[in-house]
Structure 1
Amino acid sequence: MGKSKKYIPLLKEMLGEWRWVMQYVKAYKFTVMLYILLGLIGTLMSLGTAVASKYLIDAVVSKMNSKLFEYAAVTIALALFQFVFSAVSSYLSALVGTKANNEMRREIYSNILKSKWEEIHSFHSGDLLNRIEGDVSVVSNGVITFFPGVFTKLLQFAGAFIIVFHYDKTMAFLSLLSAPFLFFASRILIKTMREYNSKFREYNGKVLSFSEESIRNIQVIKAFDLTEKYIDNFRDTLSAYRKVRLSYEKFSVITTFILSVIGLAVSYLCYGWGVYRLWQGAITFGTMTLFLQIAGSLSSSFSALAGLVPSAVTIATSAGRIMEVTQYDKEADTDKKEALRLLRECEGRGVSVKAENVTFTYSDGDSAVLNNVSFSVSPGETIALTGPSGEGKTTILKLLLGLVEPDSGKLYLECGGKTLNISDSTRRFCSYVPQEMSMFSGTVAENLRLVKQDATDDELKEVLVQAEMWDFVSSLPNGLGTVIGEMGENISSGQAQRISIARALLKKTPVLLMDEATSALDSETEAKVLENIMKNDPGKVCILTTHRESMLRYCNRVYSVNPDGTVQCD
């Protein structure tokens, strides 16, 4: 009783994960039903072929010439039909399975992107990729095949048992002698496989995260002559995964060996009973052949049903890992209508950005990053946020982008006496130039058109001119069609920053947020870019974070972010 209680929390957790999986089973119910139908037809044909071969052998042994051709034709026809059906079934399974896998992967990917930034950013990108690829594949395959497998194996088991029971009741029960052992083994497998599956996915995520991160920073690794160190570290990461894998394989081999010995003993027992019955003259050679086929089918189908338990554990484990990254609150864009209305009304007039006594603490932090912060920026004004690194300048931009929400205080936009609290819905008011590299694989034009897909080449040229980047782009052999590699490969940091600025300008929003956006530019180019921005859109609100004194002369006001989270106007 005490041992059973240990399984109750585990079973409850798995049931919760399977309830989550069931929503996808319902969503793909027609696909699941198709799989069930294909499986049932295939099983019936397999059983039918075994029975037909029994009559064919009896006809041969008894020299029933009148029935020989008929039984042979039925047996061959069933075998050929089963062969063709198996090929068609495999193709259909691949077709619908791939579609379901892609649709589920797209949905999980969408779910992750729509999650609130603060809740999802703690996961490593490699870990998220592992869940999107590996865990989603396990769950999608389980959704499509698990329940059809249950129905198919149940039919195979029931059909085989009825056929054997019809001809010999003792043989039917002998073939089930392995059942108690399989039931006992499944109880052990549930807990053990649950633990190992969790470790597999976790260590696989670590391998993926390490390799993805090191390849992304390969230039730094080479620059500091860390190649051998990272190769050794990667070997250690793989070694840890290998230990977990081998530990499970050892357990699996021992379990499989024991179950195989039991299954073999039951098979030989059935075989011996069949030989004994044949020697007695109680059954025919055809019936003996049928017993050998069906008894094996009966034993294998029961083993397959027991084998669905580990499959259920694997699916539930992967489902739990997906649930972990999709259970967070989503960005609902609840103020979309109000935001679009205010955006239309403020066109040509600009908006004011205001903060009143804003306090903010990160969910994993102990103390407030910002304390009672207040500022106001009117249309056409530029302000700078200065201060030591890590004191909250970028956090203010995250608040203005609606990536995080203040603990207290008010943060809002104002236009013509109307106000709108800043949220994910107000991002359409903002253009953003991040501090880090923000180039995507593709051409210069594709990177720019991310924010405005229908932008003409003339519009692209206009913003590149403002960002002091057109002369360089136009000098390239492919111009706007020049391919930028992953993470801005093939261009310098300064060029990448200017393309990012051009992209932000192309969006044509009333608010421009720049996070150390000119740090890679020389002073002369920086001055030209800022002058171009102010000249071409004099009503735009610009909020900059910077450590450079040269930037401050373009600002109407400068706010210092202090170590205690307060902000003061210098």
Structure 2
Amino acid sequence: MLKKVNHYAKRIKEGRLKEVIAQLKWIYRYARSHKFAIGIYTLLGLSGTVVSLLGSLVSRDLVDIITGHNTGALLTTFCLMIGTTLGGTFIGQASSYISTKVGMTVDNEIKASLFDDIMNVEWESLSKYRSGELVARWNGDASRISSGILNMIPNLVIYIFRFFSSLILVIRYDASFAIFALAGIPISLFISRSSMRRMQKNNMGTLKVSTELSAFNQETFANVQTVKAFDMLSLYSKRLRVLQKEYLNVQLKYQKAEILNAIIMTFVSMLVSYSAQGWGIYKVWSGAITYGTMTMFITLSTTLSSTVNSLLGLFPTAIGIANSSKRLMDLTNLPKEDYGNRDEVKAFFEKHKDEGVGLSIRDVTYAYPKSDIVFEKVFAEAHPHEVVAFVGPSGEGKTTMLRFLLSIIRAQNGEGFICAGDGTPENGGECMKLSASARQLFAYVPQGNTMFSGTIASNMRNVKEDATDEEIIEALKLACAWRFVEKLPNGINSEIMERGGGFSEGQSQRLSIARALLRKSPILLLDEATSALDIATEREVLKNIMCDNYPRTCIVTTHRPSVLNICSRVYSISDKKCTIMDKDAIEKMISDF
């Protein structure tokens, strides 16, 4: 006994109790808005229990009438029997309907809330997880919790009520039957206690392997072109089967524990039921009870035993909910981005939209977690109507610089600012610190294909929902995309497949640039966004951006120096330094290319 006390005391010191309390609070946060639905579901379950108990009493009277132990009205009792049966059926179907409706509603709301929570997590923290793993947790774990919220507490209340109401009814007519009904409880508790720990471990293992399998499938389908290009079909097919086998083994291990538990529980139930039947037969032979009362006792004894098993059966559900909540809390407890000054940023833009918004970087140093410094002590600026370039070898930090400007990452030292017009913090210009809220002022064209499945028009309206066809066409013209879009049979209503399928890389890049221009953001970031264009088209796109009357600040990253002589300033990022290039250095870079 002392050993067990020390064990639980140690678990509490290790923080297990705090962890459980935190999980319960986290689940309650999602459950509290559905208290009414949970209450209705619980009341229907309790009503079903009452109807079932009434049915047992009516059944007893009906048997006694048929066997001659009771001279009551057969027709009335028979009608009551039909009524309780129909009532139980109606309540059961109503509970099922409400359970389905509310369950889907709760599931959707929890997933929507979790989606928002996860999307607001800082990128550096979230990027540690594979996209397939995020989808598996968001989909599978969230559904497990929503199902648990709707069923766990109501069923706990219903089963407890069913147990004690049945027990009271048994004791009222013959307390000796309660002994048989309660005899199996200690055995069931002992068996459940010994299997819970194994089931919890196996359940977490199942979730882990399931997540790995989901992540593998998503990544494979997303990169099917690469798999085919390198003739890796057999390799990935083999990897899939290895994961499937691992998942099967873990699932079967968990299933074996459940099956063993179920077999023992069934054996205990049978033992209780047959003992109650034997005792009932003896009571009837001795004339202590009627046949109808014996039938009622046997039914209630079975109800008591099955209810105990149902209560114990909630433990695996609770384990699943606890494991799922822990996995989701790992995500939702990650550091969140701060959007607290969105209104201030919007007001800043409205005040200065005619003169435009520039950028100022002051003494910025950044290093990825557990990695070397990417760049340090960076000073740079860009103003409206300028095209500013960041150049340098691959992997030196050009994309990282754009992530800093977008506040996707946070520097270890220094600050970045959005500034009114040509202002900077040094010359007294009105400035605001960069933050997640400032992203509303940016349009960003990242590396790679970022088009979504749908039409060209729907892709454009992702960034401006009320955009007219004329506005879309104008943006396409600025990006030199209209020349091929207008030749399509359906024009801007032509379909784009997933990941820009159906268009060349260069066409997809121009569509992405057009989408960014349509947003009319005061700051435009192009990350190798013209790498698939020929030099003439690349220069034309950038000239169109510069000649546009809109006071836009444009920053480009590029490996190719062919457009540098039309840039206002060029910064070189190399060897952890960011330095401004003079005209001679730019000319030399162009001639050496």
Q: TM-score range by the shorter chain?
A: over 0.9
Deviations 1:3-32 (A, max 9, x none): 555453545533321221122221211111
Deviations 1:373-405 (A, max 9, x none): 111222222221112222211111011111112
Q: Aligned to 1:500, which of 502, 505, 512?
A: 512
1:361 equivalent in structure 2: 367
Deviations 1:350-376 (A, max 9, x none): 2221111101122x3232222111112
Q: Aligned to 1:157, which of 139, 152, 163?
A: 163
Q: Work out the CA distance in 2 between the residues paired with 1:466 and 1:178.
A: 79
Determine if contact 1:200/1:241 at 8 Å carries over to the other structure: yes
Give 2:524's aligned amino acid: L
1:436 equivalent in structure 2: 448
Q: Does 1:514 align with 2:526?
A: yes
Determine if contact 1:361/1:368 at 8 Å carries over to the other structure: yes
Deviations 1:251-293 (A, max 9, x none): 2222222232222222221221111111211111001111121
Q: Work out the CA distance in 1 between the residues paired with 2:190 and 2:121.
A: 42
Q: Does 1:340 align with 2:351?
A: no
Q: Work out the CA distance in 2 between the residues paired with 1:568 and 1:40.
A: 74
Shift of 1:90: 1.2
Q: Work out the CA distance in 2 between the residues paired with 1:223 and 1:5.
A: 60
Shift of 1:64: 4.7
Q: Aligned to 1:529, which of 536, 541, 551?
A: 541
1:403 equivalent in structure 2: 408
Give 1:59's aligned amino acid: I
Matches within 5 A, 1:151-300: 151-300=157-306
Q: Does 1:485 align with 2:485?
A: no
1:568 equivalent in structure 2: 579
Give 2:419's aligned amino acid: E
Q: Work out the CA distance in 1 between the residues paired with 2:196 and 2:247.
A: 21
Q: Does 1:43 align with 2:44?
A: no
Q: Work out the CA distance in 1 between the residues paired with 2:283 and 2:72.
A: 28
Determine if contact 2:447/2:528 at 8 Å carries over to the other structure: yes
Determine if contact 1:189/1:310 at 8 Å carries over to the other structure: no
Shift of 1:194: 1.9
Q: Does 1:2 align with 2:3?
A: yes
1:101 equivalent in structure 2: 107
2:379 equivalent in structure 1: 374
Q: Aligned to 1:70, which of 68, 76, 101?
A: 76
Determine if contact 1:194/1:313 at 8 Å carries over to the other structure: yes
Q: Work out the CA distance in 1 between the residues paired with 2:279 and 2:473.
A: 87
2:314 equivalent in structure 1: 308
1:52 equivalent in structure 2: 58
Q: Work out the CA distance in 1 between the residues paired with 2:276 and 2:230.
A: 69
Q: Work out the CA distance in 1 between the residues paired with 2:73 and 2:205.
A: 60
Q: Percent same amino acid at aligned positions?
A: 37
Aligned positions, number: 568
1:461 equivalent in structure 2: 473
Q: Work out the CA distance in 1 between the residues paired with 2:577 and 2:549.
A: 31
Structure 2 gaps, min length 5: 424-428, 582-593
Determine if contact 1:393/1:545 at 8 Å carries over to the other structure: yes
Q: Work out the CA distance in 1 between the residues paired with 2:402 and 2:553.
A: 13
Q: Work out the CA distance in 2 between the residues paired with 1:231 and 1:390.
A: 32
Q: Work out the CA distance in 1 between the residues paired with 2:254 and 2:47.
A: 36
Q: Aligned to 1:548, which of 553, 556, 560?
A: 560
Q: Does 1:476 align with 2:497?
A: no
Determine if contact 1:179/1:302 at 8 Å carries over to the other structure: yes
Structure 1 gaps, min length 5: none
Determine if contact 2:269/2:302 at 8 Å carries over to the other structure: no
Q: Work out the CA distance in 2 between the residues paired with 1:321 and 1:539.
A: 46
Q: Does 1:331 align with 2:332?
A: no
Determine if contact 1:193/1:314 at 8 Å carries over to the other structure: no
Q: Work out the CA distance in 2 between the residues paired with 1:353 and 1:148.
A: 56
Shift of 1:186: 2.9
Determine if contact 2:272/2:302 at 8 Å carries over to the other structure: no
Deviations 1:443-500 (A, max 9, x none): 1011111111111000000000011111211211111111211111221211111111
> What TM-score, normalized by structure 2, do the two folds share?
0.93
Change (3 A) 1:4 1:473: farther
Change (3 A) 1:173 1:73: same
Q: Work out the CA distance in 2 between the residues paired with 1:539 and 1:68.
A: 92
